[in-house]
Chain A
Amino acid sequence: MKHIIIIGGGVAGMQCASELAQQGVRVTILEKEADTGGKVKNWHKLFPTFTPASDVLSGLRHKIAKADNITIKTGCEATQVTPNSVRLASGEELSCDAVVIATGYTLFDARIKEEYGYGIYDNVITAADLEEMFNKNDVRLADGRVPRRIAILHCVGSRDEKVCQRHCSKVCCVTGVKQAIELKQLFPSADVFNFYMDIRMFGPGYEEMYREAQQKYNVHFVRGRISEVSPTIDNRLQIKAEDTLTGRPLKIGVDMLVLLIGMRANDMNTTLETDSGLQRQASGFMQPKDAFLGNAESNVEGIFYAGAITAPKNVAEALCDGATAALRVSDWLRNK
């Protein structure tokens, strides 16, 4: 029986594994963390339908559990990849007939944008922190109070040449709208502001959700990036920004600032380029063989991609990618 190794047990990797398993291929998933689920296991609800992220994961896990030809190795980090073998951090080497890389992305470290005060001020949090708060059903300020005014800042570590992240992370806009709505649902009397450069509503239902946020939930949208954040005497946060539609600088005090951190390429991608001969894009994400007909293949025969390893993607796209990669792998095995 052919053996395929999938690196990364996030949604793309799990989807790919279950599809391959159905075609009678032996699959091993290598997951560096203690559990599968990737980034999605940290999310609360998924846009634009507010589907609980756990529903998606349990569906995938269920499919995988049914298949008896899938092995999941957790706590395993791949260090070197060739089409026929994967070396682990432990030194162990696994052989295989093809490899699917589904290692996804890394969240931008908001501390690099020091002017926004993440890690300095208690009530500056990232979108990922907010999801965790939603999951624990515990959205509060550091001192336990309820926030009355919240600012959400878009494009933190996306479209920002100053931190070497020129690309658009694509899903943050809609995440900001989603989180604004969720915050308004929790705190109907709170003021929620979105500070943005552009609002890019690229998916089905997104634009409608954006409209609903404004009309139904009265979320405020201000076009302009925040320049800096400082504390006020009463321990709130003062935000300096420019409303570029009216052309005026503005200063407002808020209780909480949510930073919509972008997706950046994994550090490991450089190793993939140097050791495995795989091509990388200028953004640091991996370069698929072709943008249209070869989007699941790499430039190396026998190495495939699934999910956000090649570009920022939403959950639905990652799932779709997983299935595509499975198809490409089985085609390739058949024609080899």
Chain B
Amino acid sequence: MFAAIIIKYVSWLRALPKSDLVLLGKGLVSPQTMMAIWEVVCESLLHRRIFRINKRLGYMHMSLAFGWFLLIVVGWAETVAYLGARWVPLQGHVFFKYFAALNGINTHIAIFDFVMDLLLMFVLSGVALAWYKRRNSAKLGMKRATQHIFFDKIALTALWFVFPVRLIAESITAAIYGGGGFLTGGIGKLLSMVVSDNILEWAYEPIWWIYSLALGVFFMAMPFSRYMHIFTEIPLIFLRHYKLRPQDKEKSYDNFEVEACSRCGICIDPCQLQQQLGIHDVQSVYFLRDRRYNMLQQKIAHNCLMCGRCEQVCPVGINLNTLRLNSRTSMRNIPNEGRYNYLRGKDYSMGEGRVGYFAGCMTLLTPNTLHAMEKIFTAARENVWWADKDGGVCCGRPMKLTGETDSAQNMMDFNKRLFKQHDITTLVTSCPICLRVFREEYNLEGIEVLHHSEYILRLIQQGRLRIKYNAEQTFTYHDPCELGRGSGIYEEPRAVIEAIGKLLETEHNRKNALCCGSSLANTVIDDKQQLSIATNVAEEMDSTGAKTLVTACPLCKKAIARGTRSKVVDLSEIVAGNLR
């Protein structure tokens, strides 16, 4: 087992691109290493993040990981205590009781017996929960659990057997040879009273064999099953502290993220494709599994809204969206790059000013937003350079989302040159999709990129925009995925709304906000399915009783408007409509 794991890790590390190796080298001798060690303790042993998401699941994982870890450590100490000060391998304790009993060594040290039994009980409680979860995951707060593949099922079964069998084995040992703590000793005493000695002695060897077989099967299967995550999370935590990240194109580092997935299935419940449309085979857990075993299909890779709701809850913190994107990039058809030649020398921009405004394709299709922005700029007496009012080039993110990173680069280069040429210092956009790619991938040094919600709030705070407040007006707000989870902008739009009227929150908001369903990232679901998600989102918004449904993304606006007869508007529209 260790050989397989080490071969894997070494080959992945060797295949890391140079830039990553540099990061790794720099990080190794920095305080990051200590922080990583601390995180390993918190996460790999104590499972703090799962606790935060779901206490019962957290306990289950912690009891198994931390309990087993302590069993090994305390067991090792116990073995050392008997065998004296000599080299004892960590796994030395595994059959300690067996050999100790056979060799007639007196194994009674009450404190060890007690602690070991306590730990065994701790682990067993976790196993019991795991059994229960398999049968009835909803009771543990998971509406749907992962559908496992055959290999995982073998490893899972073996793991389930390890500890109960150990309990029986140690109890029988205690029954025959005496000893054991309150648990094994107690059951041992009971057994020796109820069951005849002959049977106990007959069962003694086989039960220890079953125990060792279960352990053996589990460890053999481990490097090739979901349980690879137990060890992989540790190097992953270190690498992450050294600032290694997955990127546009697949690379060796991704292996650590992919195999650190425990297939716990926590990502399944929040997925709206599952909740709303009953699609059960595309969620991150299945995507990562398929990618790991090289059986990923386009229709799985592309059937994802990239809303980030799963990433939000992933206890291992895997960059699920980026991994999916770089899978898409690897699977794409290579297009004819010559088709972007027409971009050369084009410039449709107009106006002059240090503040640039980029409407984006979707805002051009929702002209109410564009006009509201015109009004706002005029009211604030801002001189604006209009990048694409009369037509322009897409920001590139939609192409990126489908994996066409090279095509996207053509558009990104075009826009970047345009922004630089016109000497702007601030770039405002009303589209969160554009915002995200400008901020994350354009490297616009010297240009501050703002979402219009941030810009408008700034104008209000600077007193350049005077707004009428009316508490009678009620609004509810939908967090767009790219703005909220994608760019961390939650409070600015809310502050703007609260300057105009009363804001009523929806049940799922901020980090837990729902996706409107029309995400550009999903090219698999059809309009009807998009509509079904949109209707669900609109219902939640309508149920707040607010008169106007507000969002801050032109795509969300169009999507939600399809699902309701209520008025759906962009943030800028309510601002422009309430200027003093």
Contact of A114 among B365, B389, B390, B528 (CB under 8 A): B365
**How far is A114 from B371 in the complex, measured between Cα atoms in Å?**
12
Residues of A within 8 A of B309 (CB): none
Q: Is the interface of A mostly helix, strand, loop or mixed?
A: mixed
Let me know if A133 is at the binding interface, CB within 8 A: no
**How far is A229 from B364 in the complex, measured between Cα atoms in Å?**
9
Nearest to B391 among chain A residues (CB) is A240
Residues of B within 8 A of A227 (CB): 365
Q: How far is the CB of B391 from chain A (nearest CB, A)?
A: 7
**How far is A21 from B562 in the complex, measured between Cα atoms in Å?**
43
Residues of A within 8 A of B366 (CB): 114-115
Let me know if B561 is at the binding interface, CB within 8 A: yes
Let me know if A230 is at the binding interface, CB within 8 A: yes
State which residues 71-120 of A face B: CB under 8 Å: 112, 114-115, 117, 120
Let me know if A164 is at the binding interface, CB within 8 A: yes
Whether B364 lies near A230 (C-beta < 8 A) is yes
Whether B561 lies near A112 (C-beta < 8 A) is yes
Let me know if B312 is at the binding interface, CB within 8 A: no
Contact of B367 among A112, A163, A230 (CB under 8 A): A230
Whether A115 lies near B527 (C-beta < 8 A) is no
State which residues 358-401 of B face A: CB under 8 Å: 364-368, 371, 389-391
Proximity bits, A152-179, B CB within 8 Å = 1, else 0: 0000000001111000000000000000
Residues of A within 8 A of B526 (CB): 161
Whether A115 lies near B365 (C-beta < 8 A) is yes
Whether A228 lies near B389 (C-beta < 8 A) is no
**How far is A120 from B561 in the complex, measured between Cα atoms in Å?**
17
Proximity bits, B345-365, A CB within 8 Å = 1, else 0: 000000000000000000011
Residues of A within 8 A of B531 (CB): 164
Residues of A within 8 A of B365 (CB): 114-115, 227-228
Residues of B within 8 A of A117 (CB): 367
Whether B558 lies near A114 (C-beta < 8 A) is yes
Whether B527 lies near A228 (C-beta < 8 A) is no
Contact of A230 among B389, B558, B561, B565 (CB under 8 A): B389
**How far is A191 from B259 in the complex, measured between Cα atoms in Å?**
65
Residues of B within 8 A of A162 (CB): 527, 562
Q: List 30 A-B contacts (CB under 8 A).
A: A112-B561, A112-B562, A114-B365, A114-B366, A114-B367, A114-B368, A114-B558, A115-B364, A115-B366, A115-B367, A117-B367, A120-B368, A120-B371, A161-B526, A161-B527, A162-B527, A162-B562, A163-B562, A164-B527, A164-B528, A164-B531, A164-B562, A228-B364, A228-B365, A228-B367, A229-B367, A230-B367, A230-B390, A240-B391, A251-B391
Extra pairs beyond A114-B368, A115-B366, A161-B526 (18, CB < 8 Å): A112-B561, A114-B366, A115-B364, A115-B365, A120-B371, A161-B527, A162-B527, A162-B562, A163-B562, A164-B527, A164-B528, A228-B364, A228-B367, A229-B367, A230-B367, A230-B389, A230-B390, A251-B391
Residues of A at the B interface (CB closer than 8 Å) are: 112, 114-115, 117, 120, 161-164, 227-230, 240, 251, 267
Residues of B at the A interface (CB closer than 8 Å) are: 364-368, 371, 389-391, 526-528, 531, 558, 561-562, 565
